[in-house]
Amino acid sequence: MRPAIPYVVAALLFGLGVYGVLRRRNAVLVLMAVELMLNAVNLLLVTADAAPLHAALGHPPPGVEGAAPLPLTGQAFTLFVIVIAAAEVGVGLAIVLQLYRLRGTVAIDDVRLDAHTPDAGPQAIVAAPALTGSAATTPSTGPAPGADR
């Protein structure tokens, strides 16, 4: 028996996660989409590990005397991915929380990575006009215009 349904579900989950990362502009939703992709990988690893590989590897099936158990590498990798995902969520949510405290928004499009204004407050950065032309290519080291408000 070939486990086609878990593979299809994993592919759909991963595709949905990719769509969420590419389409969503809310940082929390992007984090959730990344988690969806990690869970799709987990499902794929567990399914691949549970698939009957004994025939393909030339081993006798489990339960037969003298048959060595197959290594549970898929499950071990899944546990590793779960631990990495937990750490990623912790760090990601801390970054999103700090972003909200500094800028007043978690919208990815409103975050300007080319301006460093730690003293400007959240609303000055969001309300600042976007840089265009040659000013957009030069990095700014000083406060944003209107930062003294």
pLDDT in tens, 71-102: 778 888 889 889 999 999 999 999 999 888 88
DSSP state string for 48-89: HHHS--HHHHTPPPTTSTTPPPPP-HHHHHHHHHHHHHHHHH
Query: What pTM value is reported for the model?
Result: 0.64
Tokens of 138: 């030069």
Please compute, for residue 89, the number of CA atoms within 13 A of its CA located in the half-sphere on the CB side.
Answer: 14
